[in-house]
Amino acid sequence: MLIIGELINCTRKKVGEAAEQRDEEFFRQLARKQAAAGAHLLDVNGGLPEKEVALLSWLVDLVQSVVDIPLCLDSADPQALLQALPRCKQRPMVNSITDEPTRWAMLPVLKEHRPKVIALCLSESGAPTGVDDRVATASRLLDRLTAEGFALDDIYVDPCVMPLATGAHGQNLLAAVSQIAARYPGVHISAGVSNVSFGLPARKLLNQTFLLLLMAHGLDTAIVDPCDSQLMMNLAAAEALLGRDPHCKSYVRAYREGKLGPVT
């Protein structure tokens, strides 16, 4: 399972305020603790209105000064990406392109720099509500991206996690993940897991449980909080139980390193 740390997101109030103040130590700590907790990539979102172009590059340089893992540049601004992508020391990921005409303006930048790409199942008609619209949008995105020369192994389909409080989005998304994985062998399936719990109490419980359900249906990449120790423990156990951890080596190593908590 590929874990993308979600915490460096300037659309969050506290993080946005730190970005406004250019609080370098705040972001250093966010980067370090996510990497130490087991993140394989760090999502970097500089989405402050009218400041994203400069801010994204500033964050890329700052984060890379303290951690040695790839970045996932969370932006729909071609100009911000054009400036930030060449600064990445390791091959980055971009989150995200959608099936909306305005988002396809990103395509020339993506083709020039060839990052890995999250393909989010949003279309001109808006956010998906069911299974069929998610699968149809994923198919259009994959067909176009592969036609433009992107390998399936470099594409991460995100079926678009919606808040469970607003509808039957949990079961619909699980079904969509299964169908997309079956229809396109070799493609990756990603999800911003914590969106499912928005507006509900005990959010961590929902996030932790939903991640396990998604994994059982084919998810192999998750944008989550790696500092949620229970989520990471559950993930290690699920990897072993789903046969993704040969001989349970990673699970045993995590236990020996004390990462599975006071489990007996």
Other C-beta atoms closer than 10 Å to the C-beta of 13 total 8
Is it the case that residue 264 has pLDDT exceeding 90?
Answer: no
Reported confidence tier of residue 263, pLDDT bands at 50, 70, 90:
low
Q: What average pLDDT does the segment 142-151 reach? A: 97
Reported confidence tier of residue 261, pLDDT bands at 50, 70, 90:
confident
Say which amino acid occupies 165.
Answer: A
Q: What average pLDDT does the segment 76-98 reach? A: 97
pLDDT tens digits for 49-59?
A: 889 999 999 99
Rounded percentage of the chain residues whose pLDDT exceeds 70: 99
pLDDT tens digits for 202-223?
A: 999 999 999 999 999 999 999 9
Q: What pTM was computed for the model?
A: 0.96
Q: What is the pLDDT of residue 262?
A: 75
pLDDT tens digits for 58-73?
A: 999 999 999 999 999 9
End-to-end Cα, the chain, rounded Å: 24
Q: What value, to the nearest 5°, has the Cα angle with vertex 134 and ends 131 and 137?
A: 145
Extract the tokens encoding 133. 């619209």
Q: What is the pLDDT of residue 105?
A: 92
Q: Where are the beta strands (DSSP E) in 65-143?
A: 71-74, 93-99, 116-123
Q: What average pLDDT does the segment 117-138 reach? A: 96
3-state secondary structure of 240: helix
User: From residue 127, how far is each of 87, 122, 160, 216 by CA, in Å?
Assistant: 32, 5, 8, 24
pLDDT tens digits for 237-258?
A: 999 999 999 999 999 999 999 9
H/E element holding 221?
strand 221-224
pLDDT tens digits for 170-207?
A: 999 999 999 999 999 999 999 999 999 999 999 999 99
Other C-beta atoms closer than 10 Å to the C-beta of 244 total 12
Query: How far, in Å, CA of 107 to CA of 12, rounded?
Result: 27
DSSP structure class, residue 160: -
SS3 content of the chain, % helix, strand, coil (to 5): 50, 15, 30
